[in-house]
């Protein structure tokens, strides 16, 4: 198998599941608009991670991760 786009793993602590979502966020106090951090999230932890960010007032966007094996 050759795959140069590995499916990211969920960023939640202790979670090893494949990510279905990508959270794009930044800390406006530290980062300029061009500096975007990316967190991977599985279905289960998407809400948790997004709440963590939005509760701190960080701008946050959600992007779907294409399922693995969907190439070509
Ligand atoms: Zn997870």
pLDDT digits (tens, 9 = 90+) for 41-70: 999 999 999 999 999 999 999 999 987 665
CA of 24 to the centre of ligand 1 (A): 16
Does any domain span residue 2? no
Does any domain span residue 58? yes
Does any domain span residue 1? no
Strands 37-41 and 60-64: unpaired
- Domain count for the chain: 1
CA of 51 to the centre of ligand 1 (A): 14
- Residue 46 sits in which domain range? 21-64
Does any domain span residue 50? yes
CA of 65 to the centre of ligand 1 (A): 14
Does any domain span residue 5? no
**18-48: per-residue pLDDT in tens?**
999 999 999 999 878 889 999 999 999 999 9
From residue 40, give the alpha-carbon distance in Å to each of 17, 46, 72: 10, 8, 23
CA of 43 to the centre of ligand 1 (A): 7
CA of 47 to the centre of ligand 1 (A): 10
CB within 8 A of 65, min separation 6: which ones?
7, 8, 19, 20, 21, 22, 40
Does any domain span residue 36? yes
């Amino acid at each position: 198998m050759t795959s140069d786009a590995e499916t990211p793993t969920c960023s939640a602590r202790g979670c090893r599941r494949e990510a279905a979502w990508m959270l794009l966020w930044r800390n406006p106090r530290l980062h300029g608009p061009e500096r975007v951090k990316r967190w991977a999230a599985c279905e289960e932890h998407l809400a948790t991670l997004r709440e963590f960010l939005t509760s701190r007032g960080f701008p946050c966007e959600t992007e779907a991760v294409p399922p693995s094996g969907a190439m070509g």
